[in-house]
Amino acid sequence: MRLTSFTDYGLRVLMRMAADPGRAFTAADLAAEFRISRNHLAKVISALAAAGLLDTRRGGGGGATLARAPEDILLGDVVALLETDQALVECFATNANTCTLTPHCRLKARLAHAEAAFIADLNRSTLADCAYRPESD
């Protein structure tokens, strides 16, 4: 399974914040630390906030903070949330399935089971298990 960069960046943001849960992080600070696009990261932070994983505040002293304790955030739930609109294979897409094998495919159920097992295995770990602390901290 390959995760999108959106999910990758979302996990990075959460892992970094888990190491210092009381600190407010700006998209600009995180983008500079990760060496990725600030605009793309801002979209990721917005999605995490909309899902209730982050609290955000604008203005001086603003930024994003974890909305819940790192030990209360399951990794599989985060991946499932951020990959919501990403079908593992075409036949999983609700609006774009043109696969001619669909009516008699014997693979789809196995792939669905594997995807569920992947999320379940990730849910054996919390964000606290993966907190990222840069060497400079």
Q: What's the pTM value of the predicted model, to 2 decimals?
A: 0.87
Q: Return the pLDDT at 87.
A: 73
Q: At what angle do helices 5-18 and 27-34 cross, to 10 degrees?
A: 110
Buried b (16+ CB within 10 A) or exposed e, 69-102: ebeebbbbbbbbbbbeeeebeebeeeeeeeeeee
5-130: what fold? Answer: Arc Repressor Mutant, subunit A (1.10.10)
Reading the chain (137 residues) residue by residue, the pLDDT tens digits are 789 999 999 999 999 999 998 899 999 999 999 999 999 999 999 999 999 999 999 887 789 999 999 999 999 999 999 998 777 777 777 777 777 777 788 888 888 899 999 999 999 999 999 999 887 65
